[in-house]
Structures are given as C-alpha cells and as structure tokens.
Structure 1
Amino acid sequence: MASSVTSHAASAAPGSAAMAGGERPRSLRLVREGRLDLLREEPLEPARRSYGRSGDTLLHQAARNGHRDVLAYLVEALEMDLEVFNSDYKRPLHEAASMGHPECVSYLLERGASVDCLKKGDWTPLMMACTRQNLEVIKALVDHGANPLLKNKDGWNCFHIASREGHPHVLQYLLDVSPGCWDTESTINRTPLHTAAMHGCLEAVELLLERCQYKPDSRDRCGVTPFMDAIQKGHVDIARLLLEKHQEGHTHTIQRLLSLGADLQAKDGKSRSALHAACAGQQAAAARVLLQAGLRDAPDGTGTLAQQLARKPDVIQVLQETSVST
C-alpha cells in the first residue's frame, strides 16, 4: 500500500503547492466555519486545489471541522475526490476520524472512501480514531471493514494506540471485535502493557491484566519491562498493581533499574514511593532490595507509611529488620 501512496503523491504534486504563499481564498474560511449558505455563492474551486504547506484541500477542512453538509456539497455538487490527500497523505477520512466526527466519517464511508487508507507513517483512520475515545467513530470504521490488526511503521496496531491513550471502553470494544489484537509488539518489542504502564493509564493496565495474556516480565529490545516503565515514570499505583498480579517480586527488575540510574526516590501523584508499592503488594524480596538500596519510608499524601500497608509476616519481618523510617 505504501508504494501506491507514493505513486499517487507524484501525480498530485503539481497541485499541492497551490496558494502556498498567497492570500487564502474566502471559500477556505467559509468551509472552516461551515457556512454552506455563503459557500454556494462562491466561484467554483478547482477540485484538487490545496492550500499552504499542509496541502489541505477544502475536503480536508470540512472533514476536520465536522461539517457534514459542507462535505456533502463538495463531494456531490463540486465532485471533489474522496481520496484526495495532503502533504502527509492524509485523506478526508483520516481528518474526520482523528477529530472524532461520526457524521462525517459515516458519510465518507457510505460514499465509498477507502477504510484502511494510509497516511504518512502508515497510520489508518482507525488508528487515528483510537487516539480519541469516540467509540461511535471507531465502531463505524470497524463496521465498514477496518482491520484492527494493521500496524504502522513503528509496529503499533490500533490496540497499542488505544492503550497509550488509556480509554478502557475503547480497549474493551477492540478486544470484543478482534480478540487477538492484544497479542502484538512494536518494532522494538514493546507491548501495549508497556505503553499503558509508561503513560500512567491505571484503568487500562487493570483491563489488560484481566483480559490479556501478557507475560509478567516481558522485555522490550532494551530489556525494559512494564514494571520498570511504571517505576521510572513515577506511576507507583501501576507498579503496585503489577506486583500484586505477578508474584515474582520483580527483584531482578528493581536491581536493573537501580543499575541504570533510576530515581530511587520517585513518587507518584499521591506521594507514594516504590516501597509503598512493594508493601501493598506484599512483596518481601522487593521491599528488601529497595531498603538495601537506601530507600527509606515516608508518609504518602494521606500520611500513610509504606510499613502500614504490610500484612504478610515475611514483609513485616523485612521491615522490622531494617530501620525504614527517616
């Protein structure tokens, strides 16, 4: 598909520079504002005319701004091409999907727009829709045959993208319509669980652990695990969840983090440390490694010490053996 994009780009190149440096016409402003009544009175625009460095056409502007009636006028009355693309190879469908405009998306699909067309970086409209949480748009694309398993140039499919955004209802829907979409890695071997943990998407991590079969210590090309991502970014609540779900204790992971210079004193938004995570997860070995590395207990945002979260005898013993408080 990438080669076809390139060949189309070559054929469209002469028109892509139109109006690049000059004054933009009134029709462009009217399309952005959705003023179909005034637009009808304007002189006809060349079907493939584009504007500025982006190379956007009037169709791109109508789709991006969610003006279905204007979109229909441009397609039906002026016979503009549904598959026209800008300098990033974005089609109008990419624009409507990325901005979450269900009426425009449905109109373009019903008129025959290619549902899995590629923009720069091999992003499909479905991938772009998954950067938002408008499930109506995502469903419309899937209902018209969008393939959830396609990957962009970085090896991300739409499930990976939705995991970065952390919208559980989108992830739930994708798993329902494509049960195997979770089983994916990027070009550097990062899973959606890595991505959700790194970006602090707690609800998404909970869902991924519940419905997907990720290996507890899956490593990307650099040897980083989801637990490491969570700790390095200060998402202690997610680190604690990973400890609770995977009972290995992650001692080797913690040791590797420390050897890489990770901030031992990192805290999340509720002022909880990695020691809070280890104690809440009842991980004696993890708590021992952290204490031996020099981490000391301190109250979180609610005044709770990590040692107050310990319940298992072996965890309590580790804390008693070490002076954990500053």
Structure 2
Amino acid sequence: MASPGDPRRLYRLVQEGQLCALREELRGAGRAGCPGPAGDTLLHCAARLGHRDVLAYLVETWDMDIEAANRDYKRPLHEAASQGHRDCVRYLLGRGAAVDCLKKADWTPLMMACTRKNLEVIQDLVEHGANPLLKNKDGWNSLHIASREGDPLILQYLLTVCPTAWKTESKIGRTPLHTAAMHGCLDAVKVLLQRCQYGADCADRCGCTPFMDAVQCGHVDVAQLLLEQHEACWAARDALGAQAIHRAAVTGQDEALRFLVSKLGADVNARAAPSRLTPLHFAAKEGHVSTVQVLLSLGADINSKDERNRSDNKHT
C-alpha cells in the first residue's frame, strides 16, 4: 500500500480533481511539494486540467509557489492559458502571477492562449498587462500565433488593443499575413487585409510572398482573395527564381495549378531561373504522378530541357 504523500497518488488525485481525497492525503503527508513529470508541481497539474478549486487549495492552504517553473520554464499560468481554463487564469492573475513570464523558447502565457480560439482568456491576460508585441525565439508575436489559428475575432481584438502588432516579422522575415495565408485562414486574411498595411507582395527572406504560400498549400480561395483585394502578383519570383506555379508543382497542388494556368493565364512551361526547371520538372522530381498528368493536360511540354539538357521524363 502506498505511503501517505506518494507522488503518484497525489498527482492522480489532482488530475481527477478529487479535492476531498487530496486534502486527506496531504494532511497525512504533511507536505504538498513533490516533483512530477518534467518537473511539474501539483499546481502545474491543477492549472493544466482546469481544477480551480484544487489550485486555490494548494496555494492558500499549502502556500505553493504560483511562479514555480518546470523543466521547460512553464509556470502554472502558462498551463492554464494554453488550455483555455479561464477560471484558473483569472485566479492566478488575481494572486499576482507574472503576466509576461517566459517559458522555454520565450513563449508568454498570452502566446500560449493565442494557440486556442478563446478570446476571453486573451482579454483577461491583456487587461492584466500582457504585452502582445513581445516575441518568442523565432520572432513571432501574439498576432503571428493568432493568425495561424485564424479566429477573426481574436485578430480584431489584438489589433484594437495594439494597432501596431501587425508591423512585425519573424526572424526569417515572415509576417502574420504569410502565416494566415499558409494555413488557409480565409477570414483571418480578410481581417489582416482590412486592418493592416502590408505590401502587395511582401516577401520573406526566401522571397516567398503570401500568395505563394497560399498556392503551394492549396488554398485557392485565399490566393484569389489576395489577387482581388491585395493586388498580389501571381508571376512574382522567390529568391531561387521560382514562381507560384513552380511551388504548387513541388507540393502537388493540382487544383492550384489549374487555377494558375486556366484562370490566370500562367505559363505552364514557365522556367525557374537560373535552373530553367519547369513545373513539370519539379512535379516529376517529387514523384507527383497526378500532378504530372494535370500539367500535361494543361499543355506542359514533356520534352523541355533543364540547364543540364535533361528532359522532364528524365526526372521520373
């Protein structure tokens, strides 16, 4: 039989939210501090699972440290925010938890909250002083992260409380518009186009534009919106001389290829500079059989040669 205060039993009781049994167990053990998985405390566990009553009991009866960090430097507030447990977030903030504490890779609780579509938690953090402009180690701020999730109400809120949040780039030069376009978040792209002043073909360090991101991930609706409302250039080239049509061929986006050629008039035999590779070369090299068939149906030249005088059928 496990002795009083056995860590495994304590964590199980916290996970299950069994406050009465936890009280009895801790009363017999005489202590609440015990290491858990990844250096978690019982507070981390309670906050992660949303057991506010357990959280309050551990803080108020056992004086557990709300700023305790696990091996990833996560604090209970990170856990509650990342899982969208508003009552736990509000309790910790009310007890004076540091609102912009950093976990590994420099993520704040607000950033963690932005990985979920939970506007109320985000509002609580901001109203307690969370800074949307802080960046993590990759150079992403909270608007970047919210753009990946694509909730238009959250984007509207962040841009209202922090109008300059859109003026940001990651360490590789990517904007929130790139992020929303890549993930196919149409409503988020609409908000960013309405509220922000991104250049029509703003490019990251690789020369990739939001239009290219949308096309290479197969989000034709987003690509069309960028053309119609943002005057994106479908013929722009990235740092390696490739156009959107080449990128779509690499990722096997058949619908996007039909859209580019049939709707926009893109050259199905366009060559990337300086390699002189055509979309058919790229699709064949990647083994996209259906994409090769689509390109041939669109008029691709199977005998076109690359810079090494190789034809497309040599890549298959």
When normalised by structure 1's length, the TM-score is 0.76
2:131 is equivalent to residue 153 of structure 1: no
Aligned to 1:257: 243
Aligned partners of 2:279, 2:227: CA distance in 1, in Å?
18
**8 Å contact 1:50–1:56 — kept in the other structure?**
yes
Residues 190-201 of structure 1 mapped to structure 2, 5 A cutoff: 190-201=174-185
For residues 209-261 of structure 1, what are the alpha-carbon distances to aligned partners after superposition, in whole Å with 9 as ceiling and x for unaligned? 11111111111111111111111111111111111123353313387236966
2:22 is equivalent to residue 39 of structure 1: yes
For residues 153-193 of structure 1, what are the alpha-carbon distances to aligned partners after superposition, in whole Å with 9 as ceiling and x for unaligned? 11000000000111111111101111111111001110011
For residues 54-90 of structure 1, what are the alpha-carbon distances to aligned partners after superposition, in whole Å with 9 as ceiling and x for unaligned? 1111000000000000000000001000100100000
2:115 is equivalent to residue 131 of structure 1: yes
Aligned partners of 2:18, 2:232: CA distance in 1, in Å?
61
Alpha-carbon offset, residue 274 of structure 1: 3.8
* Partner secondary structure for residue 272 of structure 1: helix
* Partner secondary structure for residue 60 of structure 1: helix
* Partner secondary structure for residue 289 of structure 1: coil
Aligned to 1:313: none
Aligned to 1:4: none
Aligned partners of 1:278, 1:240: CA distance in 2, in Å?
13
2:200 is equivalent to residue 216 of structure 1: yes
Q: Equivalent of 1:50, from 29, 32, 35?
A: 35
2:221 is equivalent to residue 243 of structure 1: no
Give the counterpart letter for 1:256 in structure 2. A
Alpha-carbon offset, residue 26 of structure 1: 1.3
* Partner secondary structure for residue 104 of structure 2: coil
Aligned to 1:303: none
Aligned partners of 1:139, 1:126: CA distance in 2, in Å?
9
Aligned to 1:182: 166
**8 Å contact 1:84–1:92 — kept in the other structure?**
yes
Aligned partners of 1:45, 1:239: CA distance in 2, in Å?
62
Q: Equivalent of 1:27, from 10, 13, 16?
A: 10
* Partner secondary structure for residue 54 of structure 2: helix
Gaps of 5+ in 2: 1-5, 272-277, 281-296, 301-316
**8 Å contact 1:243–1:277 — kept in the other structure?**
no
**Cα separation, partners in 2 of 1:73 and 1:211, compared to 1, 3 Å:** same
**Cα separation, partners in 2 of 1:265 and 1:196, compared to 1, 3 Å:** closer
Aligned partners of 1:124, 1:265: CA distance in 2, in Å?
33
Number of aligned pairs? 269
Give the counterpart letter for 1:51 in structure 2. G
**Cα separation, partners in 2 of 1:48 and 1:24, compared to 1, 3 Å:** closer
* Partner secondary structure for residue 237 of structure 2: helix
**8 Å contact 1:275–1:290 — kept in the other structure?**
no
When normalised by structure 2's length, the TM-score is 0.78
Alpha-carbon offset, residue 47 of structure 1: 4.9
**Cα separation, partners in 2 of 1:45 and 1:242, compared to 1, 3 Å:** farther
**8 Å contact 2:7–2:34 — kept in the other structure?**
no
**Cα separation, partners in 2 of 1:35 and 1:265, compared to 1, 3 Å:** closer
* More deviation, 194-203/253-262: 253-262
Aligned to 1:96: 80
Residues 301-316 of structure 1 mapped to structure 2, 5 A cutoff: none
Cα RMSD, aligned residues only: 2.6
2:211 is equivalent to residue 227 of structure 1: yes
Residues 285-324 of structure 1 mapped to structure 2, 5 A cutoff: 286-290=264-268
Alpha-carbon offset, residue 287 of structure 1: 1.3
Aligned to 2:291: none
Alpha-carbon offset, residue 104 of structure 1: 0.2
Aligned partners of 2:105, 2:279: CA distance in 1, in Å?
43
Alpha-carbon offset, residue 279 of structure 1: 6.4
Aligned to 1:301: none
Give the counterpart letter for 1:153 in structure 2. K
**8 Å contact 2:52–2:87 — kept in the other structure?**
yes
Aligned to 1:273: 256
Aligned partners of 2:232, 2:142: CA distance in 1, in Å?
31
